[in-house]
Chains A and B, each alone.
Chain A
Amino acid sequence: MPAIDRRKFLSESAFAVSALMAGGQLIACTAKDEREAERTTHAFDIMREVMAYRKIDSHAHVYFTDDSPAIQIDFADRLGIEKLVISRPMEPGSKGTPDEFIACNNLVLRAMKQYPDRIIGQPTLNPRYPKESMEEINRCIGEGMVGLKLYNHVKISEPLFYPVIEKFIDLKMIILMHVGIGKSRITYDPTEPPNVSIPDDFVAVAKRYPEAMFQFAHLAGGEDWEDACSALKDSPNVFVDVAGSNNDAGIVDFAVKSLGVDRVFFGCDNSFYQGVGHVLAADLTEEERKKIFFENYNKVLRKSGRHVS
């Protein structure tokens, strides 16, 4: 960072403030003042910090648009994100038919082929179609996908999901489930259907299947993250990702304090700057930052042997 030119800047702007506060007497900034300001303001190279950490984006998406996934890879390149765990959930409010989820998964498969070194694909399904869902799991995992991404068609704690969860216990893979936004407002956001999963649903299913791994989606995605972390405190097999557009200054610190650093994943959900920015700005040790950016999620991938080396 260039040396501070406080005298010049203040003479044009803030200098008048200190002058007025001192009772109208103009105070010349001394060389000693400048040296003091330089001493206390550390040079901070944010891009060096960004690039110092390996990163797996645990919550990423590909879209049915011409610029995707190239635009996601462009953001990842800028921010040193090595791998993106990409899925394509079905449209909100859709019927969630097999045709829909197969089309979504095919899009992910194409993205994986386009960027084989960068994209880890994650399938989606709808347990209301049990036969087709199990066939789709076999197809997608066979094609190299890892884990499962679910949206808001069926609550994570519904019995319809039990066979799917048991399948993923056998596969030793994590299940990422969307979470309803707006809990603090008592009623959930109008865009959320009645079947959207809420923290209590995760608590219930995690207790029923303690050997399963669940990923509670996007703490920064518009949900009440304090409520969520508080509810999930005693559910050790529920991990959280800090993806989303709401880079509230307290999210990462609160998640680590409530759940322990080992249960927190870095993620963006297409809000790349916020995803990286609020992890870097949090009050973490370097080891904790490494865990959140990379190691925690890679540890999950390692269980199925599909980790990043």
Chain B
Amino acid sequence: MLVDINAYTGHWPFSRRKNNTCRSRLERMNRFGVNLAVVSNLNGVFYKNPQSANEELWEELKSEKGFRDRFIPFAVINPLYGGWRNSFEESTGKMGMKGIRLYPQYHGYDLMHPSCVELVKRARDKEIPVALSLRMVDSRPSSWMDLSIGKEWALKDVVPIIREVPDGKFLIVNIANSTQLSEDEITLFKKANLLMDTSGRNIFNLGELLLTFGSDKFAFGTHAPILDDLTGLLRIEALLATEADESTRELLRSGNARRMLAH
């Protein structure tokens, strides 16, 4: 079984995305053997009111049973936007969304802003994960209207919120920059209930990262349709037997995702 913990529908305003609807994503999942995918609506990054994007995704998911069966929706929440507490409750209640995604860089707030900390604690209380993406696209070739290059995060940048809410659940995705942490920070990561996905470019040597962080800390993810559908899987399946036995591979394919998403 294969579960993608990092996928999207919707548009990216600076370049055309293909395979960005539930239907086309499902076709790609069928082609590449992906059973389930955590999905959010990219439009939520850019709409002033991200709840409109959550509603769009909900409506699309409702339109076909096959979508509901195969996608695990996450809501995009901006904790500085009016009515965010209602948006959070509605998304994770009536809409049945199983986690939330935050975009501090795009929504213009600090990860440690009191409202953001409150939101993360609310997610903790509901036992649902909070997803943080180190970057959305490679800043270098992105549009002159996109975030500046220095806005990309390294792994170290998400440490404060994990330290602040150590009993929360976190998905850290698109690990595109440095994974260097201090010994204390690695200990914090090991103790935390978190997963890192395999889509990002700095999952350069997954075998070594498994040794550093533990095999319970990683899971398959694509970051599709922004990144390709297969590189994240290749990083798992190309591991040598000495780096990951079959039970470890199963954790990476679906076992760790199952643990994280269950509640």
Contact = CB atoms under 8 A, between A and B. Distances in A.
A282 B228 CA distance: 8
B16, B138, B227, B230 — most chain A CB neighbours (10 Å): B230
A12 B65 CA distance: 19
Given A46-B237, A222-B141, A273-B238, A247 B231 contact: yes
Nearest to A222: B140
Given A13-B261, A16-B96, A245-B201, A37 B70 contact: yes
Given A78-B240, A281-B231, A248 B98 contact: no
B230 A20 contact: no
Contact of A17 (B97, B226, B233): B97
B137 interface: yes
B141 A182 contact: yes
Contact of B18 (A4, A78, A250): A250
Contacts of B178: none
Interface in A75-93: 78-79
A5 B258 CA distance: 11
Contact of B31 (A16, A42, A222): A42
Nearest to A79: B238
A224 interface: yes
A31 B263 CA distance: 24
B61 interface: yes
A5 B93 CA distance: 25
Contact of A21 (B16, B68, B143): B68
Contacts of B93: 20
A96 B117 CA distance: 51
A160 interface: no
A40 interface: yes
B257 to A, nearest CB: 8
| Chain B interface category by residue count | 35 or more
A184 B142 CA distance: 6
A44 B142 contact: no
A6 B15 CA distance: 35
A305 interface: no
A47 B241 CA distance: 14
B36 A14 contact: yes
Contact of A4 (B35, B61, B262): B35
A99 B228 CA distance: 41
Contacts of B140: 181-182, 185, 189, 222-223, 246
Given A9-B254, A184-B143, A281-B228, A44 B240 contact: no
B261 A12 contact: yes
Interface string A253-280: 1000000000000000001011011101
A195 interface: no
A185 B19 CA distance: 26
Contacts of B162: none
Interface string A43-78: 110110010000000000000000000000000001
B228 A33 contact: no
Interface of A: 1-2, 4-6, 9-10, 12-14, 16-21, 33, 37, 40-44, 46-47, 50, 78-79, 181-186, 189, 222-226, 245-250, 253, 271, 273-274, 276-278, 280-282
Interface of B: 1-3, 14-19, 29-36, 58, 61-62, 65-66, 68-73, 93-98, 137-138, 140-144, 149, 201, 203, 224-235, 237-238, 240, 250, 254, 258, 261-263
Given A181-B141, A183-B141, A274-B201, 17 more contacts: A9-B3, A9-B35, A18-B65, A37-B35, A37-B70, A41-B35, A46-B233, A222-B140, A223-B140, A245-B138, A246-B138, A246-B140, A248-B226, A249-B19, A277-B233, A280-B230, A281-B228
